[in-house]
Amino acid sequence: MYSCLFCQIVAKEIPSYPIAETERAIAFMDIFPAAPGHALVIPRRHSADALEAASEDLTACMTLAASVGRAAIAGLGADGVTFQSLARPAAGQTVFHSHIHVIPRHDGDQFAVPWPSMPGDVTEIEAQAERLRNAFSNAEF
Ligand code: 5GP
Ligand code: ZN
């Protein structure tokens, strides 16, 4: 018995609406869809989020997510796809087994990106870049 909801789906202990699977990852439908055809891609091996997942699981998930996206365009008539992955509560994550949302998009649909498209302050942008470069120079991520 697993306490993690998505581990239970991997183990087929609870039902899902499966779409596709590979050695490392599975794809199934989100049952609270943001749009028709909204799917989730998860690694079979548990990790809390993309920050914690092994690189081979990240690779497998993004590869399968792209396949599901192409299937949404070919099979559902989508015009595009939003790929989304939230990490930690501050980002809005609610299920703590890493996953990628694959949301079919249609020209003119009402699905909105969660930030206004406004130019940033270039001094602040460069300051943030400098802090990130410093983080990279001080450790491996
Ligand atoms: P998050 O908010 O962590 O990025 O995404 C978790 C997703 O899991 C949500 O979109 C939610 O609708 C979906 N979800 C929650 N419970 C279940 C469930 O029991 N089965 C499936 N297939 N999806 C679920
Ligand atoms: Zn899990």
Domains of the chain with CATH codes: 5-115 (3.30.428.10)
Q: Give the model confidence (pLDDT) of 38-80 as tens digits.
A: 999 999 999 999 999 999 999 999 999 999 999 999 999 999 9
> What is the number of the ligand 1 atom nearest to the C-alpha of 32?
12
Q: Is 28 in the pocket of ligand 1 (CB under 6 A)?
A: yes
Residue whose pair of structure tokens reads 């802090």 in the numeric block: 131
CA angle 128, 59, 56 (to 5 degrees): 105
CA count, 13 A, side-chain hemisphere, 108: 0
Structure tokens at 106: 């249609």
Q: Whose CA is nearest to atom 11 of ligand 1?
A: 32
What is the Cα–Cα distance from 77 to 94, expressed in whole angstroms? 29
Q: Give the model confidence (pLDDT) of 116-132 as tens digits.
A: 889 999 999 999 999 99
Q: Is 30 in the pocket of ligand 1 (CB under 6 A)?
A: yes
SS3 content of the chain, % helix, strand, coil (to 5): 35, 20, 50
124: three-class secondary structure by DSSP: helix
* Best residue among 32, 83, 97 to mutate for probing ligand 1, ranked by most atoms within 8 Å of CB: 32
pTM exceeding 0.85: yes
Q: Is 108 left (phi over 0), alpha (psi -120 to 50) or beta?
A: left
